Amino acid sequence: MPMENEKKSATGIRLILGYLGLSMVGEGLVSLFPLAILLFYPQEWAIYLDFLVPSGAAMVLGFLLWLSTLAGRKAGKLARNEDAVLLTLLWIMAFALGAFPFYLTKFPALNGGDSALDLGVSYSESFFEATSGYTATGLTVMPTKLFLTGVDSSLYPAAHVFLFHRAWMQFIGGVGLVLLITSLISSKNNFKLFFAEGHNDRLIPNIGRNAKVLFGIYAILILIGSISLWLAGMTPFDAVCHSIGGIATGGFSTRFNSIEFYSTTAYSSLDKGNLVYTGNAIAIEIVTEFIMLAGATNFVLQTFVVRGQWNKYRKDIEVRTMFILVVTLSLFAALSTYLQGNVYRIGEPLDFVTSLRYNTFYIISSISTTGFMNHSLPALGHMTIMLGVLAMAIGGGMGSTAGGLKQYRVAILIKQFAWSIKNRDLSPRYRVPRNHVRLGEVRPIDTKTTAEALSYLVTYLCFSLFGIMALLFCPNVGYEAAVHEWSTALAGQGADLLDLFSYRANNPLEAYNSVLWILNVGMLLGRLEIIPVLMAIRHVTFDTAEGFLQKRRMKKHATIAE
């Protein structure tokens, strides 16, 4: 007989909503952090209510939700697929909350009556921007006026707050929203959610210490990247935002034309201001390439570099795959652009070295699924675009901030294919060792690993097909643009071939919003690696219906027995 003081256990929908309430409190606190930039730019204080109102509302509603569901109860275990439902809800709630600061600028009452602070974006556009930020994709629909044009100035009165808000969403989304939330919530379900989000980087058995180690590596990489970009010629603000975008493989830039800005006369003609120097675009590009590659590398491999264990690092299957892909695809893309005679600018001949410079940057940006650009993508030709789609589909390393299929899965399938061709005529009794180096250990490639990689490849290709077809239903979206945009959303790469600004101006509003929401779905699927979203849908539909029918059958049998 249970003791009177024993707490009731919270399970099912009550447990999910309780955790969601706690997470909303955490997300509300996190969403206030961009206001910290006001310490450096106090003249932009007028927009503080655009952040305070939605963040405060999220914390209050989250607390009330927790109070009505989980408070005073013992947290039970998440049942099958319930972790996927909670995970999906956490991310969607983050998107919705992150969108409000952009949208609320249209209400002068919140901004001291200053109509100049209106960004002029709808909630659909705001939600798209937040989704792109939290999923570390980098697609943007923000107006040109928001971006910096001078050394550290903009036509928009509160540019730094909102640009940092975009970078901050990438920071949180890149390392993993669940990693932050679960480190704040002490629960037996923490690691279940952690692995459901797609992490395989369990460095330490304790979730709290694991979060600290991962955030520590993440923060150190961003700090090193920020200092390097500042020394290469960026302002401190630009350097921090671009370093976050690179390590998070998100690709949001403080400049409308991304890294290309630093190759323009507009940059080289700036007064020195608080820059170390100006005009060295190649130095900025090289540093950015290393930052993107670091963001696309498994965090466990990052620890090998810190410890000086270079053999473990260089022999890893993902490191070798990354090197081969970057070199091979960059050379093919550069050769294609050079032979086709494409030119970057009118009147500027594109020699092979220049072609290699632009194409290497694009391939690294694609395979790391970052999306920074130092060129006009259409000018590099159709072959480069196709190779970029291939690179972003492969993506970065498992346990990194990058998206895509992940290099480990692709490498396993390639090795399996090569072994099947090489050994197809051997006797079944002849056993060929099938080993690879993974995270410092020699491991066999078993049937389960290969089956998982093949299953995810088929799933990824199927959803690629569905997404491309959905975009082709929208008017004036060409095949190449549909393939590239959906691949960009699903992989989280962020380089835009379909000009969304031009599309909005030349098509019905319904068509434009349809494109945005289709891409929203693609970004969510890509960030959560598809399977958790499918499991969440299955639980809400089939599992719920099955449970309802089972209860009816039990009730019917009980009635008959009576």
Dump pLDDT digits (tens) for 523-554: 999 988 888 888 888 877 876 666 556 666 66
pLDDT of residue 205: 47
pLDDT of residue 204: 46
Amino acid (1-letter code) at residue 275:
L
Backbone torsion region of residue 147, taken as left when φ is above 0, otherwise alpha when ψ lies between -120 and 50, otherwise beta: beta
Torsion of Cα atoms, 77 then 79 then 82 then 84, to 10°: 90
**Structural tokens at position 23:** 């997470």
- Paired with 154 in beta bridges are 148
- Side-chain-side CA neighbours of residue 406 (13 Å): 21
The answer to whether 249 and 370 have CB atoms below 8 angstroms apart is: yes
The pTM score is 0.90
Q: Which of 170, 302, 305, 291 is nearest to 232 (CA)?
A: 291
**Least confident span in 50-54, 291-295, 420-424, 486-490:** 420-424
The per-residue pLDDT for 197 is 56
Tokens of 60: 């209050």
Cβ atoms of 4 and 67 closer than 8 Å: no
pLDDT of amino acid 252: 93
Continuous H helices in 278-427: 281-295, 299-307, 310-314, 317-340, 352-367, 382-394, 407-422
Which sign, positive or negative, has the C-alpha torsion 334, 339, 345, 351?
positive
Q: Is the pLDDT of residue 321 over 70?
A: yes
pLDDT score recorded for residue 549: 60
Q: Distance between CA atoms of 132 and 402, rounded to whole angstroms?
A: 13
Distance, in Å, from the CA atom of 463 to the CA atom of 490, rounded to the nearest integer, reads 9
- Given pLDDT bands bounded at 50, 70 and 90, which one contains residue 289? very high
Model confidence pLDDT, tens digit, residues 113-158: 888 999 999 999 999 999 999 999 999 999 999 999 988 989 999 9
Torsions phi, psi for 104 (to 5 deg)? -70, -10
Q: How many residues does the chain have?
A: 562
Residues linked to residue 75 through DSSP beta bridges, in sequence order: 10
Q: State the CB neighbour count (10 A cutoff) for residue 201.
A: 22
Q: Read off the pLDDT of residues 468-497 as tens digits, 9 standing for 90 and up.
A: 999 999 999 999 999 999 999 999 888 888
pLDDT in tens, 72-101: 787 777 777 788 888 889 899 999 999 999
Write b or e for each residue in 498-511: b if 16 or more Cβ atoms lie within 10 A of its Cβ, otherwise e.
bebeebbeebeeeb
Taking residues 178-204, report their average pLDDT.
54
Q: What does the pLDDT read at residue 199?
A: 54
Minimum mean pLDDT range among 30-44, 137-151, 186-200, 291-305: 186-200
pLDDT digits (tens, 9 = 90+) for 343-354: 555 446 678 998
Q: Which residue has the tokens 């460095």?
A: 203
Which residue, among 219, 188, 223, has the nearest Cα to 206 in the 3D structure?
188
Instruction: Report how far Cα 20 is from the mean position of its chain's Cα atoms.
Output: 21
The larger pLDDT score, comparing residue 385 to residue 399, is at: 385
Each residue of 435-458: pLDDT tens digit?
Answer: 888 877 888 887 888 888 899 999
The pair of three-digit structure tokens given for residue 151, joined into one six-digit string: 């050394």
pLDDT over threshold 90, residue 259: yes
The alpha-carbon radius of gyration of the chain (Å, integer) is 25
pLDDT of the residue at 49: 95
Please state at what angle helix 207-232 crosses helix 299-307, rounded to 10 degrees: 70
The pLDDT value recorded for residue 121 is: 95
Q: What pLDDT score does 185 carry?
A: 54
What values do phi and psi take at 219, rounded to 5?
Answer: -65, -40
How far is Cα 90 from Cα 85, in angstroms, rounded to an integer?
A: 9
